Amino acid sequence: MRELINIVKNYNNINENDERKLGQSLYNKMGLKYIKVYRAVKQGVDHFYDKDYVTFSERFAKEHAENNHVYSEEPHDVIFALIPTTKLYDAYNPGEYFYSGKPLKGNVIYTSLGAKEFEGFD
């Protein structure tokens, strides 16, 4: 849990104006046309935006939402969408990728519970 809190703190220290460089296209690596991706977001955000970090792991996104809730003391959601792999690229950290494209509406599948209510995942 502490490791994820540190990841969140480091993520929040990134200057939003810093240029995020896209890695290799997942279409070229995977050969799949579409894949389901997840992202932890502040409540009220329901879109994926250009150069947003995304993950294929629903659990990782939920843990990230819970950690963001603890850190910011505000609930966070997890959104998902089926995205073309031509719009997904390797990011800097293992298990994280960039979405690159026009804003894309996602579906909320989870809302964080916060430190007092969250009891962990099975």
Whether the per-residue pLDDT at 27 is higher than 60: the answer is yes
Structural domain includes residue 66: yes
Structural domain includes residue 121: no
Structural domain includes residue 103: yes
Q: Can you give the pLDDT at residue 93?
A: 84
Give me the domain span that covers residue 38: 2-14+23-111
Which residues fall within 8 angstroms of residue 97, CB to CB, at 6 or more apart?
26, 37, 53, 54, 55, 56, 88, 89, 90, 91
* pLDDT tens digit sequence for 58-109: 999 999 999 999 888 899 999 999 999 999 999 988 889 999 999 999 999 9
**What is the number of domains present in the chain?**
1
Which residues fall within 8 angstroms of residue 100, CB to CB, at 6 or more apart?
22, 50, 51, 87, 88, 89
Which residues fall within 8 angstroms of residue 1, CB to CB, at 6 or more apart?
67
Identify any residues that bridge with 114 across adjacent strands, giving them in sequence order: none
Q: pLDDT band at residue 28, thresholds of 50, 70 and 90? A: confident
CATH code assigned at 75: 3.20.170
Structural domain includes residue 88: yes
